[in-house]
Amino acid sequence: MMTKTQTHDPLQIAGVALDSRLVMGTGGATSLATLEEALVASGTEVTTVAIRHYAAAGGDSVFAMLERLGVLALPNTAGCYTARDAVLTAKLAREALETNWIKLEVIADEHTLLPDPIELFSAAEQLVSEGFDVFAYTNDDPALAQRLDDVGVCAIMPAGAPIGTGLGILNPHNIATIVNRASVPVILDAGIGTASDAALAMELGCEAVLLASAVTRAHNAPLMATAMRDAVNAGRAARLAGRIPKRDLALASSPAEGTMQTLAGQFQ
Amino acid sequence: MNPIDVELNGQPATLPPGSTVRDLVTEHTGKPLTEQGRALDGTRLGVAVAVNGDIVPRSAWAGYTVPARSRIDLVTAAQGG
């Protein structure tokens, strides 16, 4: 029998149920061996991969590794600046990896790597109409998130901060607003620097966290992967448990009766 | 018949005349493929092909002869994003 502390709480997304709410990216790892260690330590069941020109036959590949580990691949359109390129990349990904899932990234410029809202929305509209399950990487803009939701994406993935910055969640209020209005899961994507950032994302009500650099570029990637796994679980539990309201003044946690006070009632 | 010149993944390349997309994929992955474009060894290939910007579905690879001077993209999953 389940107790109040042992609830089975899978993430329901795009037709699957996932026990892990941490989605690891694959970017930034110094080697495939390090990446594999980190993926295993993170407990992730889904990882995101880029689509690139085939380099050479032979040797281990990311695809072969994921097949071996049994980790689902969520292909992405990283590196695309236009809706046209993103849609073509998504179609190549669907053919290559035999999945309708696509993490849609359409970036505006190479310095911020922030999404281009116009191209993003246009690509999302096209891909949804062609039967893709679109995981939309977006700005932390509640208005744009709402538009993506309306057009039928399967997940809204706002950036906490620009990709690779490790600045954490720069606008927690916007993330909370996106969560509170969304009809699909919100996955915090990009900007995570350390474990407390991942916990905060979950406390704000995100259904999952996607991160790569914070783990792959850490001094000890597998150890950071473990920290992120635990942070996501802790943040989720805290969200479900319901935090206490914030107050301006103290509220004693010990009873006022029975204290040794020379002047009775002085502090009551 | 002479070999045909193409652009493969942004680089000049020559293919034997009459090469199909299936031949090209086998050449690069080292895996013989079925008529449906699946690896004979039962593993998943994880690759896709576009010719002149149009995707060629794997089921069409065996019957698709690569035209001369075409631009071919052969892609797979890579680290990133």
CB contact under 8 A, B76 and A54: yes
More confident residue, B53 or B1: B53
- The answer, yes or no, to whether residue A258 has pLDDT greater than 90, is no
Arithmetic mean of pLDDT, A151-157: 98
Tell me which DSSP letter residue A179 carries: H
pLDDT of A4: 67
Residue A227 lies in a domain: yes
Residue A100 lies in a domain: yes
Two structure tokens written together for A102: 């696509």
Domain that includes residue A207, residue range = 18-241
Q: Does A78 touch chain B (CB under 8 A)?
A: yes
Phi-psi region at A60: left, alpha or beta (left = phi > 0; alpha = psi -120 to 50): beta
Residue A221 lies in a domain: yes
**What domain count does chain A have?**
1
CA A120 to chain centre: 18
- The answer, yes or no, to whether residue B46 has pLDDT greater than 80, is yes
Q: From CA A89, how far away is CA B61, in angstroms rounded?
A: 19
Tell me which DSSP letter residue A163 carries: T
pLDDT tens for each residue of A190-209? 999 999 999 999 999 999 99
Residue A11 lies in a domain: no
pLDDT tens for each residue of A81-98? 999 999 999 999 999 999
pLDDT of A60: 62
What's the alpha-carbon Rg for chain A, to the nearest Å? 21
CB contact under 8 A, B80 and A66: no
Q: Does B12 touch chain A (CB under 8 A)?
A: no
Residue A110 lies in a domain: yes
> How much of chain A exceeds pLDDT 90, in percent?
80
pLDDT of B60: 94
For the four alpha carbons of B57, B59, B62 and B64, in that order, the dihedral sign comes to: negative
Active site residue A103: yes
Name which of B18, B13, B16, B9 is nearest B64 in CA terms: B18
CA A41 to chain centre: 17
pLDDT band at A5; cut points 50, 70, 90? low
Of the candidates A32, A58, A61, which has its C-beta nearest B76's C-beta? A61
pLDDT of A56: 57
Give the lowest-confidence range in A49-53, A104-108, A185-189.
A49-53
pLDDT tens for each residue of A199-238? 999 999 999 999 999 999 999 999 999 999 999 999 999 9
pLDDT of A268: 52
CB contacts of B44 in chain A (<8 Å) are: 63, 67, 98
Task: List domains and CATH numbers for chain B.
Answer: 4-76 (3.10.20.30)
- The answer, yes or no, to whether residue A27 has pLDDT greater than 90, is no
Name which of A42, A52, A86 is nearest A211 in CA terms: A42
Residue A57 lies in a domain: yes
ipTM value for the complex: 0.90
pLDDT of A58: 45
CATH number for the domain that contains residue A153 = 3.20.20.70
Average pLDDT of the residues of chain A: 92
CB contact under 8 A, B81 and A49: yes
